């Protein structure tokens, strides 16, 4: 037994990564931990990839189906993709090696609402789970597991898998112990009960994950950092996007539709989200709450400054600096951060009840407010829908944000017709770009188009959009959502053919 | 006072329809009752239309914004549309006069998830509600209201409106008294609590609607039937669609994913839904439950035969024969039918908790499982999304059904790319046509396409779809969701230009 492995029976199952990987068989469905580069297994996937490479060299096929919480890192997705070791990947990915294989047609990928994954696995829609491969930060004396820096779908994987492999990662802070809230009250229809959560800071579960020790086939010790990259300061475009959103929130407060403490915030990750958080701090907000998926460095700062009162998420995705900050102020943060399973962080019931303000990035939006979050030119996947649909459909406000241009101006974020739709006209309330903000609530499609063109489109593309809209309104087949179908996707086709949407 | 108007104060506000309509002003937002041709006001909208016509003849503009539960009838939508009396209509419509004006660009229409309407009105997203115009079946001595044949958004309209006009319709069966369950436990974030409903047959509210008598400006007596048309026997195509679905349900039972009593059924209205219900009866099912929007004649039969144990809905939309059957067996049906506000019948929290089997029609689906429920050729609205998104996103199963051909074969229901998306690839599990059923669960986009082509496409269009898919897979920009953007909407364009999608 070690300091992190306190259960004698499980300590007896200590194995090397290669030894653990030997429990995974060709064709298995392997459900792994990991959410936004945090809490993924770091040793066994690489050992598995090496086994696969040897098998392939010997002419034996060896591929598995891989489920996770969300995105992972090169040690998992990258390693398995490089040896063509995955026949199916779901429910989300962001790894360049994985993405290139998906878009080359060599790897099948299923892009799923993050709130659907656990229940659809329970329903049996994805077949049996052969192996759960889960990183934890410690094993308690009673065999319960101290979760790692993300919870994701781990509860479900541990419950449903035939065989369990645990990676115990010493690198994860001791202080994670007690920060999790694992809800064991879920059930299958017709036996479901209301989930009792009514506040973002409420505990409704237990701090530890349960596992049947008899199912555990191997325990591997690791000491390896999460993927997380350093916080980068928001650029000018992101600051302008954030500025428009903050102005809108102030407007909503003046109208009495939001209070001084707003409503629980959900925000995606990255530059724009960081700029929004920074803007909230500058705007004098205090005592806000986050009910979101991922806690990044920016949120630590807001917690320290009292801008945020607390944050609930499913993943704690910090940079090395963030980890240091957390470790230096453990007692402070443990009072203010809760990590939950993603079926709870993203649950439609809870997001609607709490009235989250949903803020997510997008690839493109069309004149009528349909949003594409996943596909470049309708066919190439970028990452996936993630939890954006869970929050956009059910939140109090659904906001989508992006710069008005991409690829140095070769791509307009605002297009005549979205080349793929992840969020329909029925689910999109507010669009924001560096150019401005379009409030689409209570507007018909044509009214929306005028707002989107005027406030969100880049001036380089605005006249082209206006021209399309006017001609479609005058000549189109129908005048409810005016389109010229022969042209609707021509901007994307031009981009494919010439490298630019410009005429 | 009359037998149906038992509150002295409100009896004192009896007025003619014209007198009541005089309380409605140009530019008002008027929130009306009505859901699927049941329980809509029958006199005042026509009186209002006459007033508008006189105003227009005198050169005075007079238009209002109209919100309802869902679709109404010629006496409401038809009458107001004919005089161009609506500047905005939401959240659903199916009236030919309204539809033609929307598609001519003369009437703005907003198509909203039915579960969103009440809360978004409460949030203030649609501005103030000036007038509530609500049909009820009686006014009690204490001033509470016996709801009519639909509940829809009436609770919300009565709470939020500045002025209230009631139509008391003697034609509605006395026996409606006691069949409603009006939940008054809703609140706005951050004060929301779990909704306590855990079974389809559970009462969580009160039988009557509340109204502040001081807000009531007029009470009008009517004696007029609902719109409802007669039940028509399913045609051959519908029977085949239903047959494929019933075979699938039997398969799911054999796999242990559904029990003998299935899970609460939601089904749209019309021929296919009737065929599915008839098929359940023939299939020997017993003691099923419906948690749905509309109860039509077909469901009465199933209740009588014990196929259905009970049905929960928001609208009771019966033909004259159905009304006679109901009146002849009042005691039986009152035990087995509950009518709820549409924010409860369609609530994401409850649909997910109960695990509804969602069965809805569609206009078209594409190779990759994106469904268009609302637009012909991407621009002309048909009716609206209604509750299909509420049930499809949150149900245990989401099934979309349609004949494989429309317009005598000029239109293929399965197309390369949907011309409008209401239900994304993330929300569609099963597609059914007369040709067969495609089970899309756990499949990547390309795997889905093969199923859809093989099982759902009509043989006349199957080779064209196969050809598109093969070329897109070989030459497309991306191979995750292969498309040829120059062709993706060409079938629709050909239909617009030539009247047929055939090559």
| Known catalytic membership, residue A293 | yes
How far is Cα B456 from Cα B292, in angstroms, rounded to an integer? Answer: 26
Best mutation target, B260, B265, B478, B491, to test chain A (most A CBs within 10 A): B478
B253 and chain A in contact, CB less than 8 A:
no
pLDDT in tens, B208-226: 999 999 999 999 999 999 9
Strand-pair category, A380-381 with B216-222: unpaired
- Greatest distance between any 2 Cα atoms in chain B: 76
Residue B399: C-alpha distances to residues A297, A431, B285, B333 (Å): 42, 31, 19, 28
Q: What chain A residue is nearest to B429 in terms of C-alpha separation? A: A125
Mean pLDDT of A336-349: 98
Q: What is the pLDDT of residue B229?
A: 72
Reported confidence tier of residue A1, pLDDT bands at 50, 70, 90:
low
The two three-digit tokens of residue B466, written as one number: 């196969």
- What percent of chain A clears pLDDT 70, i.e. is strictly above it? 100
Residue B239 has pLDDT above 90, yes or no: yes
Residues of chain A found within 8 Å of residue B353, distances taken between Cβ atoms = 189, 192-194, 349
Does B393 contact A193 at a Cβ distance shorter than 8 Å? Answer: no
Does position A145 have pLDDT exceeding 80, yes or no?
Answer: yes
Tell whether A396 lies on the interface with B, counting CB pairs under 8 A.
yes
Residues of chain A in contact with residue B483, where contact means CB-CB under 8 angstroms, are: 378-379, 419
Which residues, 6+ apart, have CB-to-CB distance to A210 below 8 Å?
Answer: A144, A145, A155, A158, A159, A184
Catalytic residue among B167, B293, B343, B364: B293
CB atoms B353 and A352 under 8 Å = no
Return d(Cα B172, Cα A225) in angstroms, integer. 69
pLDDT tens for each residue of A451-492: 999 999 999 999 999 999 999 999 999 999 999 999 999 999
Phi-psi category of residue A436: left, alpha or beta, with phi > 0 → left and psi -120 to 50 → alpha: left
Q: Which of B120, B126, B351, B379 would you mutate first to test chain A, the one with the most A CBs within 10 A?
A: B379
Query: Which residue among B113, B264, B352 sits closest to A348, beta carbon to beta carbon?
Result: B352
Residue B271 is predicted with a pLDDT of 87
Inter-chain touch A124–B479, beta carbons under 8 Å: no
> What is the residue-wise DSSP string for A97-121?
HHHHHHHTTSSEE----HHHHHHHH
Instruction: Name chain B contacts of A420, Cβ cutoff 8 Å.
Output: 481
Residue A194 touches partner B, C-beta closer than 8 Å = yes
Cβ-defined contact of B108 to A446 (cutoff 8 Å): yes
Count of Cβ atoms closer than 10 Å to residue A502 Cβ: 15
Task: Tell me the residue length of chain B.
Answer: 503
Average pLDDT over every residue of A79-100: 98
Query: For chains A and B, what is the number of CB pairs under 8 angstroms?
Result: 250
Please state the ipTM of this predicted complex.
Answer: 0.98
Q: Do A126 and B442 touch (CB under 8 A)?
A: yes
Residue of A nearest to B439 (CA): A125
Number of neighbouring beta carbons within 10 Å of residue A321: 13
B360 closest CA partner among B385, B396, B394: B385
> Cβ B379–A472 below 8 Å, yes or no?
yes
For residue A256, count CB atoms less than 10 angstroms from its CB and return exposed for 0-12, middle for 13-18, buried for 19 or more. exposed
**How far B480 CA lies from chain A's nearest CA (Å)?**
5
Nearest CA in chain B to A481: B379
pLDDT surpasses 90 at A503:
no
* CB-CB neighbors (< 8 A) of A352 in chain B: 192, 348-349
pLDDT of B434-480, one tens digit each? 999 999 999 999 999 999 999 999 999 999 999 999 999 999 999 99
Report how far apart the first and last C-alpha atoms of chain A are (Å, whole number): 68
Whether A114 has its CB under 8 Å from any CB of chain B: the answer is: no
Chosen from A379, A495, A497 to mutate, greatest number of chain B CBs within 10 A? A379
- CB-nearest partner of A478 from B381, B389, B446: B381
On the question of pLDDT at B268 being above 90, the answer is no
For CA atoms B145, B148, B150, B154, give the dihedral sign: negative
Catalytic residue among A75, A252, A293, A364: A293
Minimum distance, in Å, between the CA of residue A394 and any CA atom of chain B: 8
Model confidence at B233, in pLDDT bands (50, 70, 90)? confident
Return the half-sphere exposure (C-beta side, CA atoms, 13 A cut-off) of residue A235.
6
Residues 9-48 in A contacting B (C-alpha not used; CB under 8 Å): none
Residues of chain B with C-beta less than 8 angstroms from the C-beta of A88: 444
Mutate to test the interface with B, among A480, A484, A494 (most CBs of B within 10 A): A480
Strands B294-295 and B315-316: parallel
Chain A 270-329, residues with CB within 8 Å of chain B CB atoms: none
Chain B residues in contact with A198 by the CB 8 A cut-off are 192-194
β-strand partners of A216: A164
For A153-157, what is the mean pLDDT? 98
pLDDT at residue number B342: 98
- Does the pLDDT value for residue B234 go beyond 90? no
- Distances in Å between the Cα of A495 and the Cα atoms of A103, A163, A377, A409 are 17, 48, 8, 11
Query: Could you give the dihedral angle defined by the CA atoms of residues A242, A243, A245 and A246, in that order, rounded to the nearest 10 degrees?
Result: 110
A485 touches chain B (CB under 8 A): yes
**d(Cα A495, Cα A490) in Å, to the nearest integer?**
8
Closest residue of A to B108, CA-based? A444
What's the distance, Cα to Cα, between the start and end of chain B in Å? 68
Percent of chain B predicted with pLDDT > 70:
100
> Does residue A41 have a pLDDT over 80?
yes
> In this complex, do A444 and B196 lie within 8 Å of one another by their Cβ atoms?
no
Averaged pLDDT, A165-180 = 96
Please indicate whether, in this complex, the C-beta atoms of B192 and A255 are within 8 angstroms of each other: no
Which of A355, A379, A493 minimises the CB distance to B480?
A379
Taking contacts as CB-CB distances below 8 angstroms, the residues of chain B near A426 are 111-113, 116, 385, 389, 422
- pLDDT, one tens digit per residue, over B291-329 is 999 999 889 999 999 999 999 999 998 888 898 999 899
Task: Write down the pLDDT at residue A268.
Answer: 87
Question: Crossing angle of helices A271-282/A236-254, nearest 10°?
Answer: 50
CB contact under 8 A, B349 and A354: no
Looking at the complex, does the CB of residue A263 fall below 8 Å from at least one CB of chain B? yes
- What value does the mean pLDDT of chain B take? 96
Mean pLDDT to the nearest integer, A408-424? 98
From B3's Cα to the closest Cα of chain A, the distance in A is 41
Q: Is B193 in CB contact (< 8 Å) with chain A?
A: yes
**pLDDT higher than 80, residue A228:** no
CB B118 within 8 A of CB B390: no
Contact A190 B478 (CB under 8 A): no
| Closest residue to B370, CB basis, from A195, A421, A478 | A421
State whether residue B446 sits within 8 Å of chain A by CB: yes
Task: Give residue A225's pLDDT band: very low, low, confident or very high (50, 70, 90).
Answer: very high
Q: Is the dihedral of CA A272, A277, A281, A286 positive or negative?
A: positive
């Amino acid at each position: 037994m070690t300091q992190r492995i306190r259960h004698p029976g499980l300590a007896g199952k200590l194995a090397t990564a290669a030894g653990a990987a030997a429990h995974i068989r060709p064709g298995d469905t392997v459900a792994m931990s990991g959410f936004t580069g945090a809490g993924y297994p770091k040793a066994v996937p690489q050992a598995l990839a090496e086994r696969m490479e040897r098998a392939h060299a010997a002419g034996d096929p060896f591929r598995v189906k891989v489920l996770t919480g969300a995105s992972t890192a090169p040690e998992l997705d990258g390693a398995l993709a490089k040896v063509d070791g995955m026949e199916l990947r779901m429910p989300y990915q962001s790894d360049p090696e994985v993405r290139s294989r998906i878009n080359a047609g060599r790897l099948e990928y299923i892009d799923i609402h993050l709130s659907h994954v656990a229940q659809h696995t329970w329903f049996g829609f994805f077949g049996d789970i052969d192996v759960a491969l889960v990183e934890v930060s410690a094993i308690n004396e009673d065999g319960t597991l101290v979760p790692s820096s993300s919870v994701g779908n781990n509860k479900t994987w541990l419950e449903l898998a035939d065989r369990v492999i645990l990676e115990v990662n010493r690198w994860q802070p001791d202080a994670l112990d007690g920060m999790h809230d694992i809800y064991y009250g879920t059930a299958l229809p017709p036996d479901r009960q209301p989930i009792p959560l009514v506040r973002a800071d409420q505990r409704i579960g237990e701090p530890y994950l349960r596992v049947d020790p008899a199912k555990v086939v191997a325990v591997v010790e690791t000491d390896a950092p999460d993927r997380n990259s350093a916080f980068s300061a928001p650029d000018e475009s992101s600051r302008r996007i954030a500025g428009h959103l903050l102005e809108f929130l102030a407007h909503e407060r003046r109208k009495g539709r939001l209070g001084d403490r707003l409503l629980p915030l959900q925000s995606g990750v990255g530059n724009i989200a960081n700029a929004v958080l920074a803007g909230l701090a500058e705007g004098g907000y205090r005592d806000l709450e986050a009910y979101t998926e991922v806690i990044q460095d920016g949120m630590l700062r807001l917690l320290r400054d009292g801008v945020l009162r607390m944050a609930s998420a499913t993943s704690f995705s910090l940079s090395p600096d963030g980890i240091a900050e957390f470790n230096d102020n453990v007692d402070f943060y443990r009072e203010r951060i809760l990590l939950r399973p993603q079926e709870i962080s993203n649950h439609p019931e809870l997001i609607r009840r709490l009235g989250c303000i949903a803020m997510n990035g997008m690839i493109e939006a069309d004149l009528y407010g349909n949003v594409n979050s996943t596909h470049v030119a309708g066919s190439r996947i970028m990452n996936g829908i993630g939890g954006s649909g869970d929050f956009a459909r059910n939140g109090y406000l659904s906001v989508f944000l992006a710069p008005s241009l991409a690829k140095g101006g070769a791509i307009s974020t605002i297009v005549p017709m979205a080349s793929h739709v992840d969020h329909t006209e029925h689910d999109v309330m507010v669009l924001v770009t560096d150019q401005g903000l379009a409030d689409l609530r209570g507007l018909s499609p044509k009214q929306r188009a005028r707002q989107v063109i005027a406030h969100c489109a880049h001036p380089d593309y605005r006249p082209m959009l206006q021209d399309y809209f006017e001609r479609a309104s005058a000549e189109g087949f129908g005048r409810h959502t005016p389109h010229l179908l022969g042209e609707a996707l021509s901007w994307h086709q031009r981009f494919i053919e010439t490298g630019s949407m410009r005429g």
